[in-house]
Structure 1
Amino acid sequence: MIKVLHNNSCSKSRAILEHLDENNVQFEIVDFIKNPLSKMELKTVLKKLNCAPSEIVRKNDQEFIDLNLDLETITNDELVDVLYNHPNLIQRPILIKGKIAMIGRPIENVKFFIGK
C-alpha cells in the first residue's frame, strides 16, 4: 500500500490521488495540513526521500518568502522545525512505499513508482 502525504488545496496532489484511484492502486491519504507530521515523522520522510530538508521546501511560496529564510545558512534541524511549524511549505504530494518515497511529480515518475 502507498501512503500519500497530501494537501487538498494542491491541484497536483489531488490529481495524483485521482490517478491512483483510476488505476486501482491502494493508498492511504495523510492530510499533513489537518494532521501535521511530527518532527520525527518529517525526518523519516526525508530519509526515505534521500534528501535534505531544503529539497522539499516550496521556495516560491509566499509564506517562505515572508519568512525570509536563508537556505545557505540554516541547519537541517532548524529547517525541519520550520517545516513542522509551516507544513504548507512542504512539496506535495509525497508518495511513500515501504522504505522509499518520492515527490509525486511528474506523473511519469509516479507511474514508474507505483509499478515497482
Structure 2
Amino acid sequence: MITIYTTPSCSSCRKAKKWLDEHKVPYEEKNLFNHRIDDTDIEMMLNHAENGFDDIISTRSKVFKEQELEVEDMSVSELKSFIINHPSVLKRPIIVDAKRMQVGYNDEEIRVFIPKRLREMIMRENSEEDFTHYDETLSRYFATMTDEIDDEE
C-alpha cells in the first residue's frame, strides 16, 4: 500500500494525489497537520532514503531556520523527535510504499507507482523511447479492470 504524506496548502501534494487518483492507484493519505506521524513513519521514509534525513527534511523551513539547527549536530533520535514535533520540516509530498519512495512531485518519476500489470502492458505495447500510445494503453487497462469487476458481480 502506498502512503502519501501531504499538507493541505501543498500544490505538489494535490498534483500527486490527482495523478494517483487518475491512475486508480490506491493510497493512504496522511495529512501532516491532522495525522501525528510517529517513529514508524519516519523509519519507513529513512529505509528508502539514499541520503538519510537530507532526503526528507527541508532545512529551509521556517522552524528550522528560527531554531538555527544543523542536521549534522543532531543525533538520529533528536532528529526523529524534532520531526514528530515539527512535521512541517518534512519535504512534501513524500510518497512511499514497501519498495520505493519519491519526495516531491515529478511527472515521470511517479510512474514507478503504476501497478505491475499496467507497467507490463505499457512495456509490451510501447517501445522504450516511444510512449505515444501510453494514454491508449491506460484506457485499455482501465477497461479490463472494469470488465473484471463486472464479471465478479
Specify the TM-score bucket, using the shorter chain as the normaliser.
0.7 to 0.9
Higher helix proportion: 2
1:68, 1:90 → 2: CA distance?
A: 16
Q: TM-score, normalised on structure 2?
A: 0.66
Partner of 1:47: 47
Q: 5 Å matches for 1:44-83?
A: 44-83=44-83
Larger Rg: 2
Letter paired with 1:105: Y
Query: How does the TM-score come out when normalised to structure 1?
Result: 0.84
Q: Distance in 1 between matches of 2:16 and 2:109?
A: 11
Gaps of 5+ in 2: 117-153
Q: How far apart are 1:50 and its partner, in Å?
A: 4.4
AA of the residue aligned to 2:18: E
Post-superposition Cα deviations, 1:4-54, rounded to whole Å, max 9, x if no partner, equal: 112122111111101111222222211122111112331232113344123
Considering only aligned residues, what root-mean-square deviation do their CA atoms show, in Å? 1.8
Indicate the larger mover: 6-15 or 50-59: 50-59
Gapped regions of structure 1 (runs ≥ 5): none
Partner of 1:85: 85
Compute the displacement of 1:83 (Å): 0.6
| C-alpha contact (below 8 Å) 1:54/1:79 kept by paired residues | no
Specify the SS of the correspondent of 2:101: strand
SS at match of 1:28: strand
SS of residue matched to 2:28: strand
Q: Distance in 2 between matches of 1:96 and 1:33?
A: 18
Residue identity in the other structure for 1:23:
H
Bigger drift between 94-103 and 27-36 goes to 94-103
Q: Distance in 2 between matches of 1:9 and 1:99?
A: 28
The structure with the greater share of residues assigned to strand is 1
Give aligned-pair identity as a percent: 24
Match of 1:10 in 2: 10
Q: Distance in 2 between matches of 1:31 and 1:60?
A: 20
* Corresponding residue number in structure 2 for 1:114: 113
Alignment of 1:86-105 (within 5 A): 86-105=86-105
